[in-house]
Each structure stands twice: as structure tokens, then as C-alpha cells.
Amino acid sequence: MEVFAVVLSLGFCELCGGISRTTSSAIGVCSRCLRNYGEKSLEIARRAHRSYRESLGLPLAVPKQEGTTCRICVNECSISEDSPGFCGFWIKKNGVLNPITSDPSVGLVLWYYDPHPTNCVAGPVCPANTSRGYPHYTRFRGVEVGYYNLAVFYIACNLNCLFCQNWEHKTILSEDRLRARYRKTVDELVKEALNRRVTCVCYFGGDPTPQIAHALAASRKILAKKDPGEVKRICWETNGLENPVIMKQMAELSLVSGGIVKIDWKAWSPEIYEALTGVDGRKAVERLKTNVKLVADLAKERGEPPPLVVSTLLVPGYVDEYEVSRIAEYVASVDSKTPLVLLAFHPDNVLRDLPPTSKKHAEAARREALRAGLREVYVGNVWLLGNYY
């Protein structure tokens, strides 16, 4: 079990003057003021994002210059010549958008074999852990002991989450020497995935969205080349902000392979969403609604295991019971059978001045999600929970 020290500090809200353990001085404004004062509060919160991204050499905000528009995700960056998009992976050269690798078949990616049972977001419903979907999508009753998830980490993200647990990947984008170590072709990835001990291939990061062409090409080859009767579940952990045309392709690959689309819904209130992630919260929440419904509608074609799982990180003071209840109400209105996983927060990256999630916070959030009509609500990372606030 991981052992860590928790230093409890008091944060200050620059608008109302409130002091609390669950207000981040890094963000500079509390959740109540974010919801009540909109743009005025966001002007404060944006400072942390600009400062952090400036240190990394990434665009300070979503580019909206005169330029070529990227349609891969909700940001729809308008990118000028010799400049990158918000994700840092797509750059305009000679009037054309190109990946930073200069070749769509080459990604910035790393992978590793993660033995089952894994600490997957969808672990409570995953076939490898639970046998849900047996015998079509797992050959085992019980845990797939001795088999692996190929965890595929894509280096780049279209968000700027101040709490990111994998923040180191952003530094790789700005250094040629580091990027060279992670250049991998589609075929190299496919070769690893075809290992007969691999039953899941899960794309995460960062986020798979900026490099989705690489991931989709690899997935199609994996399913085409696997032996008949062999299990190769294609899974995604994503923020859910993809162009819906792309999201449909991702979901269809999971649907036919027994995999799961895991959509991480950061917050319901647009102001909270932007304060935490650095992108337009109104556009993001609307895209999430669209993509959750899209995947949920496709999911009805399969049944077990659940093709869609929604997750929400319980950021103390910001992603509270109200945020969870509204997300849960929407998900339940689309399909009440969709599992929701509430994840405990650990202080990291810029948000090191907040405590981990308290047990009573997680319990209250779960009650709200069940009250909203969802049938399956789980709490993840329970070893992080404590009596912090």
C-alpha cells in the first residue's frame, strides 16, 4: 500500500476572502464564487493555467488566431503557421496541420504489461476482474490471473488539468531529445498487443484524443490479426471531448471486442470545469453530453459487460455533491444502467494544496448519484480516503 504524508493547509479565495482547507490558493477562488461570479472568477483561475503552460512552452490558452482549424476535439484550435495547438501535438507547417512526429503512423507513446486484476477505472465491471461478458468477452470465470492489460499511454492531452497525476508527459513534448525515446509506429504497438497473454488493450494518457489516428489504426489491425476466438478487448480512458465522429469509431471498436469506453467527466458547472482544466467549460460539458449519449445509445446493442463507464474525480471543495448529482442525473436520463465510478483525489501537480478526498465526501457523493437514478455507483482509490475535512 502506498504511504504518503498529508499536509493540511488553508486556501484563500480572492473574491470572497474565505479561508478553507478545500479552497486552493493555486486556483485562487472557491467553488461558490466560481458558480456565482462566472467570468470574474475565471479571470483569477486562468492565471494558474497560463503560468503553468508558459513554463512548459505550450500555448497559454486554446489558440483562436487566423489559421487552420483542427476538428479532432471540442477545442477546435485555429492554428497559425509554425505554431502548435493546445495539445502541443499538432503543428501547422507549410499551411498544413501535421503531428509533431511528422508522420501519423508514428506516435509519442509508451506501453507496459499490467497484470490482471488491474486498478482500471472500470475495474468494478471489467470482464478481466468480474467475468461479466463471459463467455464471449472473457474465457475465464473469475479474474484473468496470468494475463495482462497492455496499458498504452499517449503523450499529449487536450486539457490542462491542474491536478493531473501524469503531468510529466507534458515536459516530453517540449524536448526533442525526450520525444525521440517515445516515437513508436502503429505496427510496433500491434506486435505487442498480439501477445497471447494480452486480453485488454487500454489507451490512456495524457489522453488518446490528440493521437487518435494512431490508436484507431492500431486497434483495427489488432482485431484483424488476432487469432479466431482470442480475446482482445479495446478500451479507452478519455476526457470525452472528441469530435463525435471520432467517438463513434472508438465506441464501435470497444463494442465488437468486449471493451469499455471510460469517459472522465470532470465537472458539471462550466466554471468549475474550466477552473480545473483550462478549457471552455460550456463547450466541454455540451460535448460530454453528446458523446455520453452517443456511446450509451450504441451500448444498448451489446449488454454485458457495460460498454460505457463514466468516472468523476472528487476534487475536494470543487467537485462536490452538487457536481456529482448533476452529472449523475444526466447520465441516468440517458441510461440508468451506465456505471459511475467516483475516484478519490490525491494532491499532485499544481493542486498540491488540497487534501485527499474525505470518506464522508465520497459517501455523500455516492448517495447523490444513486438518488439521481443510477443503478451502479462505485468508489475508486478507496485507500486514499481519510478524515481530512
Mean pLDDT, range 35-50, rounded to an integer: 97
b/e for 294-303, b at 16 or more Cβ within 10 A?
Answer: bbbebbeebe
pLDDT tens-place string over residues 189-224: 999 999 999 999 999 999 999 999 999 999 999 999
pLDDT band at 6; cut points 50, 70, 90: low
Write the DSSP symbol of residue 269: S
Q: Please give the pLDDT value at position 2.
A: 47
**Looking at domain 106-384, does it have CATH number 2.10.240.10?**
no
User: Cα 262–263–267 angle (5° rounding)?
Assistant: 145
Q: Give the pairing type, strands 106-115 and 183-185.
A: antiparallel
Residues with Cβ within 8 Å of 269's Cβ and at least 6 positions away in sequence, in order, are 34, 35, 281, 322, 323, 326
Residues with Cβ within 8 Å of 81's Cβ and at least 6 positions away in sequence, in order, are 67, 92, 93, 94, 95
pLDDT band at 66; cut points 50, 70, 90: confident
Q: Alpha-carbon torsion 166, 159, 127, 124, what sign?
A: positive
* Contact criterion met (CB below 8 Å) for 334 and 375: no
Q: Where are the domains of the chain?
A: 106-384
Mean pLDDT, range 313-340, rounded to an integer: 98
pLDDT band at 5; cut points 50, 70, 90: low
Cβ-based burial of 18 (10 A; exposed 0-12, middle 13-18, buried ≥19): middle
Q: How far apart are CA 158 and CA 86, in angstroms?
A: 6
Q: Please give the pLDDT value at position 303.
A: 87
